[in-house]
Chain A
């Protein structure tokens, strides 16, 4: 069975303290890996799509990378407004439908 595991479940950082979130997957035939951001009381909002190992995408203080078994979301010099839950989702060869991980709740303190 396809699985998506995100770690840590929760992360507290000081403003400016860089760190990484992890998304590991055990799927057959990865079509795409997606990162979403979810603010409290809102729906998830798309950030990145990664398709193949070695690929990287950047947006402001966020950089997503992909290997054959996991993806990292690197946050450089985070700000309090980066506080949110970050969700990872994978899409496999057997289905066009993404399966979501449980997410990492990030809090950045000023």
Chain B
């Protein structure tokens, strides 16, 4: 069974360019999360979806960040324009809600973004 698939694994871009990160969650999972990980701040939740609907985007740092989930098998995180401070590893994770708990999260291998 394939896990969460993210692309690209590595992205190097110049300040001001648009960046699009992609995620395919595990089939049958109803929650999808986007996290950002840095040495300074650890793992931060950016946004999460339930059944393809954005539920909480309060972690999105600013209007330059946007996320979509057009269907149950695909999500994107877009940064436009990118800035050097956006450099981080971005993780996508999915889970299936069981009872009153979202249960364990299954993470992808991450997309390492470097903005020069």
Is A71 an interface position by the 8 A CB rule? no
B102 touches A97 (CB 8 A): yes
Interface residues of A (CB under 8 A from B): 31-32, 34, 41-46, 49, 87, 91, 96-103
CB distance from B47 to the nearest CB of A (A): 10
Residue contact B102 to A91, C-beta cutoff 8 Å: yes
Which chain B residues lie closer than 8 Å to A87 at the CB level? 43
A sample of 12 cross-chain residue pairs with beta-carbon separation below 8 angstroms, ordered by A number, consists of: A34-B104, A41-B109, A43-B107, A43-B110, A46-B105, A91-B102, A96-B31, A96-B101, A98-B105, A100-B35, A100-B43, A101-B42
B101 touches A44 (CB 8 A): no
Give chain A residues whose Cβ lies under 8 Å from the Cβ of B106. 46
Show the binding face of B for A, using Cβ within 8 Å. Answer: 4, 31, 33, 35, 42-43, 45, 48, 56, 91, 93, 97, 100-110
A31 CB, min distance to chain B CBs, angstroms: 6
Known: A31-B100, A103-B42. A97 touches B56 (CB 8 A): yes
What number of A-B contacts does a CB cutoff of 8 Å give?
49
Residue of B nearest to A45 (CB): B107
10 extra interface residue pairs, beta carbon distance < 8 Å, beyond A43-B109, A91-B101: A32-B101, A41-B109, A43-B4, A44-B91, A49-B104, A91-B102, A96-B97, A97-B33, A100-B42, A103-B42
State the Cβ distance, B82 to closest chain A Cβ, in Å: 22
Provide the bound-state CA to CA distance between A43 and B105, in Å: 10
Residues of B contacting A32 in the complex (Cβ-Cβ under 8 angstroms): 101
Task: Identify the 8 closest CB pairs spanning chains A and B, nearest first.
Answer: A43-B107, A46-B104, A102-B42, A100-B43, A96-B102, A44-B107, A43-B109, A43-B91
